[in-house]
Amino acid sequence: MANNFGNASVSSWQDISREVKRIRSRQQEQLPASRLEYLQTVGQGTAFLTFDFGIDGVSIEVAKYARVLETLFQPYGGAGLHFIAGDFYLQADAILKSHWSRYQIDGINGWSKWDDGKWFDALFFEDMPAGSQRSSELATEVYQQAREIAERLGNYLVANQISLLITVNVASNPGNLALTLALVLVTEALGIFVINSNHDFYWDGGKPAAERKPGEEPGSRDHFFRNVDNQPFFSLFQMLYPWKGRRWIQANINNRQSERLIHEFGFPKQRVLKISTFVRNKLFEDYAEDDVQHARLRMANIFSGGDIEISARSLIEHQRRLHKWMDTQTPQVIGAREDLRLDLVADDIIYLLQPTRVIARKRIEKGLELIRALLQGPLRAAFEQQPNRQLVLHVTGPTPLEHQDDLETILHAYGNLIDSLPPAIGERVFLAFSSGHESHPSFEEQEFTEMDIADIYRMATAVLFPSEIEGRGLPIIESGAVGIPIICSRYRPEEVFADVIGEDLPEELRIRYLLFPEDAFSEEFLIEVANLISHPEAWTKWREHNRLAIRMRYSESALSASFRRLLVRSYEIAT
């Protein structure tokens, strides 16, 4: 692989741009003689590449893609599937099959996990003037890292006869510039086919400060434009995100992304497609109250460390130990004080679920604000009259290390919530973090099966999803498939939200929801939410409607059809 990159001397962003163009201009490998030969070739070796694999939404989607491809490649000699990342967390074992190959490359994780965030901060949170010594140092460093990554990545692809790379977010959301540069160098040098799957782009929720209107709030991804005035750097940055490779096609998860790539960034229409998702059949299975209780019982074991009874840690103590907890992220229930007990299998518990990671744009704190308003309003009497009634807000995903500040915001909001209530009520309101854990060693002894996504949703009285920005919004689809009502915001981009809900579709195909308000909670809204969680039986028709609509729109066959189109287009654009 080293021979492919020559002995270029790189000391600036312009030098890198020239080297990238030089590699791209080289003659590529011979194409398969036919579409059949192409499918046989890529079936023999296809690899997924992303920053890391865990239990996050991207990892779950990649596992769905892999399952579909495994089936699609069977008629062409079977599937050799590989997964390449900077880290494989233990939770990934729950979604990646054991016979799928894994390859870890140190240094290709993103954001704060890219060398403890040193280079990410230098590129996107610190000034890097054009022509400065700092700019030159960073260009040299990034290119050197890219060459080292490219050699390891390229050698693995060659050794395992991998002809197709499905890259997920690494060339759209800039968590690791060295990885993206290495990816471009390798795929162009070797003539690898690439389906570039984009869940998020750096410009979703971000823009230069000069483009902001008076009074407009900063976006969550504005930092990517910190050094927009360093033209040599930003020109390369825009060229890479995403790359217009000769054997690359772009697979986006919503129409807005595709339209922008075509009309603003000049991508040929035939190289830009939309990729769907599917809901596993497990989520559509009918279930009874016993199944709900069994799911909650298993989750109680996860939270308690192998017991039914859950002892909460006080908010103050959890805040004191927060740095240590961030390292382990063991499941934890937090209460107003020590020695409080949470009973997940009690009949009178209100179980609110936020099925996301802890990230600022998920706005988990708004769910706590809603709980506060409910307990000061229409739910107050029920809690005063029923002394055993409890409420829990369960956040399912982990907290990325770079988002500890966002977790602290949530804990502060929980503190405001319990401080606003009389102790007799506040001590029955809990905040829980399972951090992606779906099993516990005690399961084997008790003959429990590992929890899956359907079990997680079945536990819920309702799902809260007050997110600000989404590339798709899977919790809306997944909760609807199980039949759990959702209270969600009209997140940005609004076109994406409208597409998920199906606003332009016939009524029978639209997903029903309660709208999480952006402003103050109206009395009418609070009463509606209180009725939803206090009398779930009254919402049976709503549940049945959503389950049918989602079954019709998000089947596995729909995703399989998407990948058939992607594979055919991948071959056609290269011929």
The verdict on 327 and 240 lying in the same domain is no
Share the mean pLDDT of the chain.
Answer: 92
Q: What is the structure's pLDDT at 556?
A: 81
283 found inside a domain: no
pLDDT for 164 = 95
Q: What's the pLDDT at 298?
A: 96
Residue 187 has pLDDT above 90, yes or no: yes
Name which of 403, 410, 385, 537 is nearest 464 in CA terms. Answer: 410
Which is it for the CA torsion 555, 559, 565, 568, positive or negative? negative
What's the domain range around 294? 289-554
Q: Contact, 246 vs 188, CB < 8 A?
A: yes
Q: Is 465 helix (H, G, I), strand (E, B) or coil?
A: strand
Same domain? For 265 and 294 the reply is: no
DSSP 8-state assignment for residue 510: S
The answer as to whether 60 is a domain residue is yes
Confidence band for 90, pLDDT divided at 50, 70 and 90: confident
What is the tens place of the pLDDT at every residue in 247-295? 999 999 888 899 999 999 999 999 999 888 888 888 999 999 999 999 9
Give residue 8's pLDDT. 66
Same domain, 184 and 266: yes
Is residue 284 assigned to a domain?
A: no
Digit-coded pLDDT (tens) for 198-213 = 988 999 888 898 888 8
Residue 220 confidence class, pLDDT cut points 50, 70, 90: confident
Task: List the CATH number of the domain containing 516.
Answer: 3.40.50.2000
- Mean pLDDT, to the nearest integer, of 156-178? 95
The CA-based angle 100-103-109, given to 5 degrees, is 120
- Burial (0-12, 13-18, 19+ Cβ within 10 Å), 278: buried
Residues 394, 461 within the same domain: yes
Q: Distance between CA 185 and CA 197 in Å, rounded? A: 18
Q: Which two tokens stand for residue 73?
A: 């490649």
Are residues 49 and 175 part of one domain? yes
pLDDT at residue number 325: 97
Q: What is the pLDDT of residue 2?
A: 58
Candidates 199, 171, 174; CA nearest to 257 is 199
Would you give the DSSP letter of residue 502? Answer: T
CA–CA distance, 115 with 269 (Å, rounded to integer): 37
CA distance 442 to 68: 33
Distance CA 104, CA 83 (A): 8
Q: Are residues 56 and 165 in the same domain?
A: yes
Structure tokens, 425: 């009520």
- By percentage, how much of the chain surpasses pLDDT 70? 98
Instruction: Give, rounded to a whole angstrom, the gap between the first and last alpha carbons of the chain.
Output: 25
Q: Work out the average pLDDT over 396-418.
A: 95
Query: What pTM was computed for the model?
Result: 0.74
Relative to beta strand 272-274, strand 332-335 is unpaired
Look at residue 236 in the predicted model and tell me its pLDDT. 97
- Per the structure, the count of domains in the chain is 2
Distance CA 473, CA 204 (A): 14
Residue 166 is encoded by which pair of tokens?
């499905």
Same domain, 505 and 538: yes
What is the reported pLDDT for 33?
Answer: 74
Tell me what pLDDT residue 271 has.
95
149 and 208 in a single domain? The answer is yes
Beta strands of 223-369 (E only): which ranges?
248-252, 272-274, 310-311, 313-314, 332-335, 341-342, 349-354
Q: Are 62 and 56 in contact (CB under 8 A)?
A: no
Buried b (16+ CB within 10 A) or exposed e, 365-384: bbbbbbbbbbbeebbeebbe
My answer on whether 184 and 227 are in the same domain is yes
Which pLDDT band holds residue 6 (cuts at 50, 70, 90)? Answer: low
Domain shared by 393 and 253, yes or no: no
Cβ-based neighbour number of residue 219 at 10 Å:
19
Catalogue the E-assigned strands of 281-389.
Answer: 310-311, 313-314, 332-335, 341-342, 349-354
Q: Is residue 48 part of a domain?
A: yes
Pairing of strands 429-433, 332-335: antiparallel
Residues 473 and 500 sit within 8 Å (Cβ to Cβ): yes
Residue 282: both structure tokens together? 């497990």
Residues 229 and 320 in one domain: no
pLDDT 10s digits, 63-85? 989 999 999 999 888 789 999 99
* Residue 79 lies inside a defined structural domain of this protein: yes
Q: Is residue 155 part of a domain?
A: yes
Whether 444 and 541 map to the same domain: the answer is: yes
Angstrom distance (rounded) from CA 470 to CA 488: 12
Instruction: Output the CA torsion 43→98→302→283 (10° steps).
Output: 40
DSSP 491: P
Give the mean model confidence (pLDDT) for residues 332-336: 97
